Amino acid sequence: MYSFVLTNSIKKETRNLAVICQSLAAQIKDPLLQLWLCHYSIVSVNTPNTPIVENLFLTNTCRYLVERRWYEQWKEYVVTGDQNSSSFPGQIDNTELFEELDSYHLKERLVENEDFVLIPAEAWRNLLAWYGMVDDQPALERKVVDLPSTVKIEVYPVEIFLCLHSNMENVVTAQFSHTIQKVMMKQFDVVEGAETRLWMKSSDTCCERLRNVNVNVLDSSLSSGMTVIMEMRNEDGTWPSSRPQIMNSVEEQESYRGQPGVCGLTNLGNTCFMNSALQCLSNTPPLTEYFLQSAYLEELNFTNPLGMKGEIAEAYADVIKQMWSGRHYSVVPRLFKTKVGHFASQFLGYQQHDSQELLSFLLDGLHEDLNRVKNKEYIELRDADGRPDQEVAEEAWHNHQRRNNSVIVDTFHGLFKSTLVCPECRKVSVTFDPFCYLSVPLPVSKDRVMEVFFVYLDPVAKPVQHRLVVPKAGKVFDLCSALSEMTNVSVNQMVVADVFNHRFYKIYHADESLSCILDRDDIFVYELSSGSVEEEEGDEVVLALYLRERSHYRDSGSGSSSCGTSLFGHPLLMAVPRVQCSRNALYHLFLQRLGASGEVRAGCSTKDSASASCSAGASAGVPTNSQQGAGLQQQQPCHTEEEEEKGECPPQTNERQAKRKGYQARRRKLLFSIHAVNSNGTTERGMGEDAQPYVAIDWDPDMKKKCYNENEAEKYVKHQSMEVPHQQTTVQLQECIELFTTVEILEEENPWYCPICKKHQLATKKLDLWSLPEVLIIHLKRFSYTKYSREKLDIIVDFPLRLVISCLSFTPPSRYDLIAVSNHYGGLRDGHYTSYARNKDNGQWYYFDDNKVTYAREEQIVTNAAYLLFYHRQDKIRQPTLPPPSDSSSSPTQPANVTSHKHDGMERAISCVNMETD
């Protein structure tokens, strides 16, 4: 029992678990309790929407990144409460977070809580003191940036280049979030009070003036790789140049006269999601004409507390006017990006985001900035109470317009009919709710495609990569069953494991859910001898075998026997007879296995090295009886050459003969030594009887270089299932809309309060389309999130270019024409957004890929990348005022230049309009 003293300040913050943990940790000496307190301190930081997080963010200025798998293993070690547990995590290892270990640059698009976790500084210092870091890796310290509306962890510090206009050869690299001018003046020893101005060079053909010299990196929308040039005013009051003479100026390009609207958008750094959404809205005729005619100027709402003081509308209008001026090949939407980040902190920085989320924010922001209602009155909603739907719908729409009246409402808003039915009293509640876009679900397949490596029992056979179709809600047993049909190996002889960083991250049981396995995990399935999988106390024991390289040096000060080793290659699972669990017999078994598979070079597995395994004794680095786990047994040296070859060594009776054998052993050198280790392969120690037996074989670097064949060890064979592309499912858009209007039961987290039962109920809910807008936006919900997994659905949705859709408002079916599509290529972790759009003036389709624009044909538009669909009602469409291009194979500005584009394995030849950044 422990008693602690809490300071008065901590007593006032009793809800702040992390602060309490840090105070208690300073007063105790029990390392296990310190582990627990450190654990809860970290958990509190990673728990969203709690006062704990807010307090910690305000009181701490930095966080540290820790690789998620190491953290999960450490957490398991803490939760078990057993310091001798096999889940001991070993040294902190962030290897998987780095692109390369030479520069220690982070991989791009790492995801918090999926690839890494953020921990507070105090917890990091404790972890570092207890475990240390492997291979002298740097600590990944990241700053907490305090912004006006939120706080943000700067996981990827912006790296830009700095130079003076007078000496552009001297370029300095800097990573910071501070005020740019102050940093540059200090870096280049510019005298305080000197008048300066800054220029931003984002590409070889773009140079912009940075008007606000006191702005910081985030607010200025600077991205990594850009150059900031500082010039100082001359003594006579002039500037060295009107613009740094490093590239063609924007003005020199303004003589270009092209098709209005056919204009690219420069990628400022992972802003393709924004460019894609902007291109779709830019090619929405009623909204674009509204801004081009400057109708927005009379409707800007500067007093709306829900708006952005008109700034979003003005920034958007500026982009649209530039894109439709016909004077630019490409526009740099930097001011717009800055405004978006200022009012929506989730879009700050240069992380990848969702084009639908940006579109939702933008439409809402434009609506509030242009809302014609200056003073919103309170309106009490009424239930239908049996009134006709037409009357209730008209009342709902009228009430909506009393508070919301803008060009966005006129163009994009429609009306849902929502019907709720109480499961007990059968009370029916009917309401009508406005919508701005339809988020329709995609029919989710019940199957899942997984890729695994199958390792045969026969060491001569190379591992085989298979592609399997398994039930999403299935068990590991189902994966083994599917593999059994391909390999004719019994399910009872298979063990499934997740291999990570040359070790077993997890060995699965047959009844575990497949949802625990992510698509990015490296899954190996091992064939073992019959009966060894099920019989825990049988004649065989399953050993997990790691390969390690032992360094020439040892850290004698640490006292750790695992110091100076590093894992390599793929681990193995082997079923070993219990009677052969002596170090001598294991050496023969491992040598035979590696030699047969080709990992040990021919000529290295000689009789000398084999006999040396019998006679080497404790000097070979093999654990003694006190160190052994998994039944590793001590064995006496052999008497004769025959006994050595057979591995049968009777008790030694002749002391003189023993000395002779020991002398011979010192003359011979083993290929490797055997050690009992923990599950991470980092610490040599004994293991309990119930623990999974882990064994490492250590190679001397010189012996490994001479005898171990790494190229042969890495070889594998592709099964024919890998050659057959997975057949993608095609669904009709109408199916998605029907699924959207299907009756569903409310979730437990979002019940409905029944006015009759006087309690919350899990009512049935049905949504129907009552009235449709002039421009209908359909969002295909491709990203699926569950408790255990995240995935992107690459189903092909066959959407028509001419859509006919009915609603319940007793009007004829609405007929729409497709005018724009936002595409997403790639997966959850990385991807790229593009768009197709139909120009309102000439009716020609174009493909927009950031600053590049190419002609497109209607038959190219329907792909599995479609994410947002924009439809314009036919009775509102204005006919093109210009004829389509006479020859789509030629550029408006130059002769035809046919280029080839590839997306998702589909190759297409598209005529290039050659829209390069100006």
Known catalytic residues are 272, 832
Nearest to 708 by CA among 806, 848, 590: 590
* Dist. CA 760–CA 751, nearest whole Å: 6
Phi, then psi, of 613 in degrees rounded to 5: -65, -30
* Dist. CA 866–CA 624, nearest whole Å: 63
Specify whether the CB–CB gap between 114 and 96 falls below 8 A.
Answer: no
3-state secondary structure of 444: coil
* Dist. CA 181–CA 198, nearest whole Å: 8
3-state secondary structure of 471: strand
* Dist. CA 336–CA 281, nearest whole Å: 14
Residues near 632 by Cβ (< 8 Å), separated by ≥ 6? 581, 582, 583, 586, 623, 674, 676, 695
Dihedral in degrees, nearest 10, Cα atoms 108, 110, 116, 119:
80
Total number of residues shown for the chain: 918
* Dist. CA 707–CA 718, nearest whole Å: 27
Residue/partner pairs of 153-159 with CB below 8 Å, 24 or more apart: 153/63, 153/118, 154/349, 155/65, 155/106, 155/110, 155/112, 155/351, 156/106, 156/224, 156/349, 156/350, 156/351, 158/217, 158/218, 158/222, 158/223, 158/224, 158/349, 158/350, 159/224, 159/225
* Dist. CA 574–CA 572, nearest whole Å: 6
* Dist. CA 331–CA 74, nearest whole Å: 49
3-state secondary structure of 688: coil
Q: Which token pair is 153?
A: 């962890």
* Dist. CA 621–CA 686, nearest whole Å: 15
Q: Which token pair is 727?
A: 């057949």
Q: Which token pair is 187?
A: 């870096």
3-state secondary structure of 269: coil
Neighbour count for residue 819 (Cβ, 10 Å): 22
Distance (Å) of CA 526 to CA 191, 530, 690: 69, 12, 21
- Strand 730-732 and strand 796-798: the pairing is parallel
* Dist. CA 299–CA 293, nearest whole Å: 13
* Dist. CA 323–CA 470, nearest whole Å: 49
* Dist. CA 904–CA 907, nearest whole Å: 8
